[in-house]
Amino acid sequence: MLDAKELKTKTIQIGSFYSDITLVNTPPWGIDSPPTGIAYLSAYLEKKDIKTSVFDLNIFIFNNIDAPLKLLWHYENKNFWKNDKIFEVLLKRMDHFIDSAVEIIISKHSAIVGFSVCDGKERITIELIKRIKEKCHEKIIVLGGPACSTSEERELFAGRIPGLIDAFVLDDGEHALLEIVNAVRQGRELTGINGVLTYQNGKFSEANQAAKKEEDEYVYPTYRGFDIPKYQNNWLTVEWSRGCIADCTFCKIKDLWEGYYYREPQDIVNELEYHILHNKVSNFIISDPAFNGNIKKLEKVCDLIIKKKLRLQWCGQAIPSNSLTKEILFKMKESGMYQIMYGVESGSDTVLKGMRKPYTTEIIEKCLMRTFEVGIPIYVFLIVGYPGESEEEFAKTLAFIDRNRKYLTGVKSVNTLHLVDGTYLYNHKEKYGIELIEGKEENIFWTSDEGKNTYERRKEKARRLISLLEKLNLPILEENLFEGKEKEFELEEDLGYADSLELIKKNLVLTSHIFNPSTSGAVKVQTLVPKANFSRLFDRLPAFFKEKRLIGRFDSLNAQDMSFDLGNIKMDEKITFILKIKINSTINKRVKILVSPNNLTWVLLGWLSFFDAPRTYFYKINEQVAGKRIFIRIEDEDVIDKIEWIKLYR
């Protein structure tokens, strides 16, 4: 920690800095769009006349690292970043990226460097800080984000790099960073700033209550300084509210944001218009825990979008509620909503009450029915293994899904319950009969219900739920059954770097049960999830070509490496792929064909069937696009002699 004299010395030089503060996003983080957090901070500080620069190390490494290691960014593999032995090997592979990042950050000539950190980012952030301090010891290092919210998480940084972090921001970063910059400018110590902790002589300072930001101080991000085309999809994440009206026991939102605030509708629409005009983006993901927390303001947002005739698409997560009437749902759809995700979690009223959910199964079912009737595709979140979820209560979840299948487009996630530090559930473990297992990851390997609710038991329930979803032909986009797989292999001491890296790559291969049914035998439901419709088109191709407009042709393709730039495509526009495939021998086999919006998460489109060949086959795939680029992969490339061409029609 710097004392006042050192700060005073630094302040003398501050006029020579190109910016007052550089905000850095480290991996792992999303790769579809720029990081919203530091974008908000940057916009707020610049409004206060603070010179700010940004650097997204996350997308910098992802775009430059070899393909097998890109799987490190998949949610299934996030714990690889937290394993010390694995990270030591990964660090060697990323060494030159980190050195380049240090040079880039130093070249921005900022007095202060701020990092946004959360679960998984700790070790690479620590390494980056060490190298920055080695080259420029006078830099002031500030950390913020969820990984600073508890004492245990802060101790990880303070213990590994004592003296190198000058301040921890505990709450919303806007006011705290503003005060930190002003303190540096004036040569004041950082101790005592509201919402900020410092670490000196092996101890953290006393925390002062963070200053509450006035509502009119919210500034939407412009994403200045981010190279948007470098991201995997042509959408932006936007924030309409902060906090949450619910108070779920397993969620950390209340610990991170006190209270609830919904932005003014005109300000929200002004932001959307700005991005359409200046960033050339018209697809938006609402990042709020529940975008329907203030139904009157939500309705006004929709009214303004409709009135202004803005051509945009948006989706987000909502709380099932009686306030989502058909009238409002119609407005949501008319304003561009193409998909909604409901935090259902359970089909048991007993479990929902235990979670402190603000709704019952009756409210959920009526909300699903209204949403379906309006024509908005529906995804739901599901959690299994909550304390007190008996076999009888779990059976109610299975029955709920079976009963409401006709309303659902798919399932966003099937997760065994995680025990998260800082949540009500974690802080009141005794009340819920939760016991931690010594030497095991406490968020995964806890027990409850007198030892009956074990991790293995929770996984068994999740498998049964997944089996039902398959039977009902319901797509599953995410599940967490394979978290912790990094512990299933050992990097031996005598194993060299090259062999260790190859072993890591081998174990990064995805094992998640991502399921997407083919149209064959599927229940007919409204859906935006990719569906396959393969057929021999010898007789129908000429007529088809007349009906559609060719937007691209790609020749001599590799079955394991196909990606297509879709250009200016609407979020919900249907693209037709025509593949001309030449197989290499007489075989009797079916192979999978998969699609991905980001080259990480692959969804099964269907099957290619080859019988009594060789010959050339034409296949048609109707695909609902969700971004500016689409990736296609054929699982068994040995079957394919050549993909002569792929044509895209719209």
Residue 591 DSSP SS3: strand
Q: Residue 333, Cα to own-chain centre: how many angstroms?
A: 24
Residue 621 DSSP SS3: strand
Residue with tokens 């690889």: 80
Residue with tokens 């409204």: 526
Taking the C-alpha atoms of residue 463 and residue 461, their distance in angstroms, rounded to an integer, is 5
Taking the C-alpha atoms of residue 596 and residue 74, their distance in angstroms, rounded to an integer, is 12
Cis before 265 (ω within 30) = no
Q: Which domains does the chain have, with CATH numbers?
A: 4-204 (3.40.50.280), 233-479 (3.20.20.70), 541-649 (2.60.120.260)
Phi then psi for residue 458, to 5 deg, are: -65, -40
Beta bridge mates, 262: 241
Q: What string of H, E and C letters represents the secondary structure of 202-264? A: CEECCCCCCCCCCHHHCCCCCCCCCCHHHCCCCCEEECCEEECCCCCCCCCHHHHCCCEEECC
Residue 464 DSSP SS3: helix
Taking the C-alpha atoms of residue 59 and residue 394, their distance in angstroms, rounded to an integer, is 40
Q: Report the 10 Å Cβ neighbour count for 555.
A: 10
The reported pLDDT for the residue numbered 545 is 44
Q: Report the 10 Å Cβ neighbour count for 357.
A: 23
User: Cα 40–282–514 angle (5° rounding)?
Assistant: 85
Residue with tokens 């949540």: 423
Q: Is 186 exposed, middle or buried (0-12, 13-18, 19+ CB in 10 A)?
A: exposed
H/E stretch holding 337: strand 337-345
Beta strand 616-624 pairing with 167-169? unpaired
Question: 395-400, long-range: CB within 8 Å, 24+ apart, which pairs?
Answer: 396/346, 396/347, 396/348, 396/349, 396/361, 397/346, 397/347, 397/348, 397/351, 397/465, 398/347, 398/464, 398/465, 398/468, 399/347, 400/346, 400/347, 400/348, 400/361, 400/364, 400/365
Taking the C-alpha atoms of residue 239 and residue 253, their distance in angstroms, rounded to an integer, is 14
Taking the C-alpha atoms of residue 346 and residue 333, their distance in angstroms, rounded to an integer, is 26
Rg from Cα positions in the chain: 26
Phi then psi for residue 573, to 5 deg, are: -80, 140
The reported pLDDT for the residue numbered 520 is 29
Taking the C-alpha atoms of residue 212 and residue 46, their distance in angstroms, rounded to an integer, is 19
Q: Report the 10 Å Cβ neighbour count for 48.
A: 15
Taking the C-alpha atoms of residue 424 and residue 415, their distance in angstroms, rounded to an integer, is 19
8-state DSSP, 435: B
Q: Which two tokens stand for residue 531?
A: 């569906």
DSSP 281-314: --EEEE-SS-TTSSHHHHHHHHHHHHHHT---EE
Beta bridge mates, 633: 594
Phi then psi for residue 210, to 5 deg, are: -65, 145
Beta bridge mates, 374: none
The reported pLDDT for the residue numbered 602 is 65
The reported pLDDT for the residue numbered 531 is 29
The reported pLDDT for the residue numbered 583 is 53
Select from 635, 621, 619 the least CA-distant residue to 576. Answer: 621
The reported pLDDT for the residue numbered 190 is 87
pTM of the predicted model, to two decimals? 0.76
Answer whether 373's CB lies under 8 Å from 364's CB: no
Q: Measuring CA to CA, how many Å separate 124 from each of 30, 74, 276, 405, 625?
A: 16, 17, 34, 43, 34
The reported pLDDT for the residue numbered 486 is 83
Taking the C-alpha atoms of residue 215 and residue 261, their distance in angstroms, rounded to an integer, is 8
Residue 458 DSSP SS3: helix
Select from 257, 316, 255 the least CA-distant residue to 284. Answer: 316
Beta bridge mates, 413: 381
Q: Measuring CA to CA, how many Å separate 98 from each of 63, 64, 116, 365?
A: 14, 12, 16, 50
Taking the C-alpha atoms of residue 241 and residue 271, their distance in angstroms, rounded to an integer, is 13
Q: Which two tokens stand for residue 153?
A: 């998480």
The reported pLDDT for the residue numbered 473 is 84
Q: Measuring CA to CA, how many Å separate 487 from each of 284, 441, 507?
A: 37, 11, 10
Name residues of the chain where pLDDT drops below 70. Answer: 1-17, 209-217, 511-650
Give the end-to-end CA distance of the chain in Å, rounded to a whole number.
60
Answer whether 163's CB lies under 8 Å from 137's CB: no
User: Cα 497–498–502 angle (5° rounding)?
Assistant: 115
pLDDT (tens digit per residue) in 99-124:
999 999 999 999 999 999 988 999 99
Taking the C-alpha atoms of residue 363 and residue 361, their distance in angstroms, rounded to an integer, is 5
Select from 613, 615, 593 the least CA-distant residue to 603. Answer: 593
